[in-house]
Amino acid sequence: MMQELKAIEQARQDMKLQAMQIAFEKAQAIKYDCDYEELKFCFDNHENLTGHRYPPTSQRYESWLVWQESWKAAQEHMLQARYDKLSSHDYVLIPAEMSGEIAEAIAHNANCCGGIAYDIYQAIIQASKQYQ
Tell me the per-residue pLDDT of 30-65, one tens digit each, with 9 for 90 and over.
988 999 999 999 989 988 999 888 888 888 888 888
Higher pLDDT pick, 21 / 130: 21
| Count of structural domains, the chain | 2
CB 98 within 8 A of CB 118: yes
Packed helices 36-50 and 2-31: angle between N→C axes, nearest 10 degrees: 120
Tell me the per-residue pLDDT of 85-104, one tens digit each, with 9 for 90 and over.
776 666 777 888 888 888 88
Shared-domain flag, residues 82 and 100 = no
Shared-domain flag, residues 76 and 98 = no
Average pLDDT of every residue of the chain? 83
Q: Could you list the residue range(s) of the whole structural domain that residue 71 is in?
A: 2-90
Shared-domain flag, residues 119 and 62 = no
pLDDT at residue 88, rounded to an integer: 66
Q: Residues with Cβ < 8 Å from 16, sequence gap 6 or more?
A: 75
Shared-domain flag, residues 60 and 119 = no
Q: How many CB atoms lie within 10 A of CB 59?
A: 9
Nearest to 24 by CA among 78, 61, 74: 61
